Amino acid sequence: MLFRITGLSPCPFRHLFGQSDVKLSALGVERHVADASPGYPDRIELRDAQPGESVLLLNYLHQPARTAYRSSHAIYVLEGARKRYDRIDDIPEALCSRLISLRGFSGAGQMQEADIGPGDSLEPLIDRMFANPTVSYIHAHYAKPGCFAARIDRVVSA
């Protein structure tokens, strides 16, 4: 089964890029400079920031559904990221190199499936979740810190 992994759109974060640390702090956002890679996984381009690159740490509402599963958590976004990751049947290195928690949701935002596995072995878990017709989309989370990583959608072939 084909699947599509997407990072976040950079649009909601652009107003933060280049702001002073004081202004960011007033918004509850922290600027960090990557000092190692891996270590600062960007949610837009779905790659680890390289040493010296600036990332913003902020709270993000990744599951906005008005259900018990409504959820937000801290994420990093690469300051100045322009184009979100958007590929079919390709798991980015930032996911492959970590333990990943997958959560399958219905169109109404109710969790239907959940599992965990090494990022370089996610395809069978994704296929199993999408075999459940009630699963509309999957959220990938970095399992250890629990933060949102990316969205996975079923690709319907024509």
Q: 76 lies in which domain range?
A: 3-154
Q: How far apart are CA 46 and CA 139, in angstroms?
A: 14
10-54: pLDDT as tens digits: 999 999 999 999 999 999 999 999 999 999 999 999 999 999 999
What per-residue confidence (pLDDT) applies to 97? 93
The total domain count for the chain is: 1
Q: Residue 96 corresponds to which amino acid?
A: C
What per-residue confidence (pLDDT) applies to 1? 76
Q: Which of 119, 59, 37, 50 is nearest to 81 (CA)?
A: 50
Element (H, E) at 71: strand 71-78
Q: Residue 104 corresponds to which amino acid?
A: G
**Position 83 pLDDT exceeds 60:** yes
What per-residue confidence (pLDDT) applies to 130? 97
What per-residue confidence (pLDDT) applies to 158? 56
DSSP 11: G
**How many Cβ atoms sit within 10 Å of the Cβ of residue 51?**
12
91-146: pLDDT as tens digits: 999 999 999 999 999 999 999 999 999 999 999 999 999 999 999 999 999 999 99
**Position 70 pLDDT exceeds 70:** yes
What per-residue confidence (pLDDT) applies to 10? 98
